[in-house]
Amino acid sequence: GAGVSQSPRYKVAKRGQDVALRCDPISGHVSLFWYQQALGQGPEFLTYFQNEAQLDKSGLPSDRFFAERPEGSVSTLKIQRTQQEDSAVYLCASSLIRGRGNYGYTFGSGTRLTVV
Amino acid sequence: GENVEQHPSTLSVQEGDSAVIKCTYSDSASNYFPWYKQELGKGPQLIIDIRSNVGEKKDQRIAVTLNKTAKHFSLHITETQPEDSAVYFCAARASGSARQLTFGSGTQLTVLP
């Protein structure tokens, strides 16, 4: 598609519920990132995929957070047993890598998760 | 790891005036510095970026400057318009295998008509 698509746009979960957030990156983009953005803050890195390989998951806040990208395109971020502190906007971004160059990300509009 | 500080947190300017947002970074290995604009309910949108081998870059009304020695970089918007009102984020990325960006805390820019 023309941009990065995320679904759902909004999710309300009861505390303790499991949620799954979907990201559909730009076609052909090798790199895919998940970020968490708390209200009034900048995005914070969660995890990074190059194709289907998860190369960095150092930003995942706990073992309740899990991400996958099994075929190197669509990615899912799963949060188990949600807690109130998980409430945030979850942003997905994709990027085209060429050699060792730096290229900007394209972000999706995010999923706003509210845990009640 | 990298730490990015951004100032000011809020900025109000009259339409037609210039706006300047400043950021500092801590990791001397960082070599890529993008700026993003985020409107309400949307994801951040890349507006300009600069690499460490360049001191200044301009794109119409937007310019970015980089001082690697002092480890700071700035965004300059000239002839501001009401549609420039948004939250602006600076970011930095170090070279190496990790390709994530470290973001500043954002600047809410309001352009008053």
> Is B102 in contact with A4 (Cβ distance < 8 A)?
no
Distance CA B26, CA A85 (A): 28
Tokens 């190059």 -> residue: A50
Contacts with B5 from chain A: Cβ below 8 Å: none
Contact A107 B43 (CB under 8 A): yes
Q: Report the percentage of chain A scoring pLDDT > 90.
A: 84
| Closest partner CB to A55 (pick from B44, B97, B105) | B97
Q: How many angstroms away from the CA of B15 is the closest CA of chain A?
A: 24
Comparing A93-107, B46-60, B65-79, B96-110, the range with the smallest average pLDDT is: A93-107
d(CA A50, CA B7): 33
Region B19-48: what's the mean pLDDT? 94
Q: What is the pLDDT of residues B49-88, one digit of tens each?
A: 998 888 999 999 999 999 999 999 999 999 999 999 999 9
Other residues' Cβ atoms within 10 Å of the Cβ of residue A13: 17
Shortest CB distance from B100 goes to which of A33, A42, A104? A33
Q: How far apart are CA B40 and CA B21, in angstroms?
A: 19
- Across the range B21-28, mean pLDDT stands at 95
Closest to B72 measured CA to CA, from B20, B1, B16, B4: B4
Helix and strand totals (H; E) in chain B: 0, 11
3-class secondary structure, B83:
helix
Residue A11, SS3?
A: strand
Question: A107 pairs with which residues across the strands?
Answer: A93
- For the stretch A28-85, pLDDT in tens is 898 999 999 999 999 999 999 999 999 999 999 999 999 999 999 999 999 999 999 9
A90 inside 8 A of chain B by CB: no
Which residues does B39 contact at the CB level (< 8 Å), separation at least 6?
B45, B86, B87
Cβ atoms within 10 Å, residue B9: 13
Coil, helix or strand for A39?
coil
DSSP class of A84: G
CB B94 within 8 A of CB B30: yes
Pairing of strands B10-14, B107-112: parallel
Mention every residue, 6+ apart, whose C-beta is less than 8 A from residue B60.
none
